[in-house]
Amino acid sequence: MRTRDLLHLRNTGHPGINSLFAKAHSADWDFEHDVDWTVPIAADDPLVAHGWGAFGKTPTFLSLPEHAKSRATRRAVGRMLNILQVGESVAQDVCAKLVLLLHEEDYRNHAAAQAMDEARHHLAYRRFLEKMNEEPEDIDAGTEMMFDALLASNDALEIIATEQFFLESFAMSIFESLRDSATHPLLRRIIELITRDESRHMGFGVLYLAEWLKRQPLDRRVAFARPWLSQILGSLLDRPGPIFLARVIRRLRDAGVADAEKLAPQMLREQQEINAADLDDVVAGTKVPHLLKSARRVGLLAPEILDAIDFGAHPLIRGALRSEREAAPLSP
Ligand SMILES: [Fe+2]
Ligand SMILES: [Fe+2]
């Protein structure tokens, strides 16, 4: 960019995207004063209800001694907060890059405001992890690879589709589950404040992509929809299984459950029943995950796209469309 390019910055005039920047200020919160950091975190506090963690709702897990359950649940929370704190730094990086890549005034403004939100989120998670006072488990290789690929991109559309549309819609379900299950007041407070910001970020991804898709011919829309819908369906079908179970068993063993390995087959069977029931709710359309809501809002579930890629018959997509039809008469 040169001064001449900045002299007459174009604003797209999109009311939704322009209002995001104003909301970033009116809904602002102060990292030091709006959170009471004096609230202590006891060393044996599980921080969330046991049912929040993978395998935490299984009858076998719930029948274990309270001390072991608390240790395992607390480690699960620590691992998630560690992924989130680094995810915030990744988001801050890509938003800073978007400020430079995007040439529209309202898009650049949103990206600048989001970069500041992400810096604050990073600090909040880091401070909470410090107060937990234990080394969190390392992030997994798959997450690290995905973050690395995002950090390497210099394409605004790819960055927004990955960060604001996919990752922030995916993360929104994690924030909601943490907010609903948090038993520690400080954790609940920071998640509530952060979730408010994240819904604006996800909103930008949805509005930006909806605008972009509207301008594309059908073949371009189909080419965009195919990989993203595959990724969305893949991540929705990815439920806690044997790999995650190994992690939970290790936590239980470290917490003093001597025969933890022996519990594994039974816990896996019980979790598979829970997974199936969760998916049934999505298929029935009674629960529509944020990823599918966002896909629907940007137009990826338009009939002509679903016809072209043969995804229309997928039970999860049918569930999202069914819930839209049932909700339609109530909408204003
Ligand atoms: Fe964030
Ligand atoms: Fe965000």
Mean pLDDT (10-residue bins), the chain, 332 residues? 90 96 90 93 97 96 97 97 98 98 97 97 97 95 96 98 97 96 98 96 98 97 97 94 95 95 96 95 91 96 92 87 70 41
Give the number of other Cβ atoms within 10 Å of residue 299's Cβ.
18
Cβ atoms of 55 and 248 within 8 Å: the answer is yes
How far is the centre of ligand 2, averaged over its atoms, from the C-alpha of 17 (Å)? 15
pLDDT at 12 (0 to 100): 97
- Joined together, the tokens standing for residue 67 give 């001390």
pLDDT for the residue 330: 47
Give the Å distance between the CA of 121 and the centre of ligand 1.
5
Ligand 2 centre to CA of 118 (Å) is 6
Distances (CA, A) of 85 to 9, 11, 42, 79, 324: 34, 32, 21, 10, 34
CB 232: neighbour CB atoms within 10 A? 24
3-state DSSP assignment of residue 126: helix
CA of 109 to the centre of ligand 2 (A): 15
- The ligand that comes nearest to the alpha carbon of residue 201 is 2
User: What distance in angstroms lies between residue 265's CA and the mean position of ligand 1's atoms?
Assistant: 37
Q: How far is CA 286 from CA 78, 230, 279, 283, 300, in A?
A: 31, 22, 10, 8, 20
Q: Which residues surround ligand 1, an ion (CB under 5 A)?
A: 88, 118, 121
Distance 114 CA to ligand 2 centre (A): 7
CA angle 208, 297, 102 (to 5 degrees): 5
pLDDT of residue 41: 97
Count other Cβ atoms within 10 Å, centred on residue 4. 7
198 CA to centre of ligand 2 in angstroms: 5
- Ligand closest to the CA atom of residue 120: 1
Q: Which ligand is nearest to the CA of 169?
A: 2
User: How close is the Cα of 302 to the center of ligand 1, in Å?
Assistant: 29
Cα 62 to ligand 1 centroid, rounded to whole Å = 32
pLDDT for 327: 66
CA of 210 to the centre of ligand 1 (A): 22
In this predicted structure, what is the pLDDT of residue 328?
59
Among all ligands shown, which has an atom nearest to the Cα of 167?
Answer: 2
Q: 116 alpha carbon to ligand 2 midpoint, in Å? A: 10
How many angstroms separate the alpha carbon of residue 88 from the centre of ligand 2?
7
Q: Residues 241, 268: contact at Cβ < 8 Å?
A: yes
204 CA → ligand 1 middle, Å: 13
Q: How far apart are CA 55 and CA 61, in angstroms?
A: 7
At 184 the three-state DSSP class reads coil
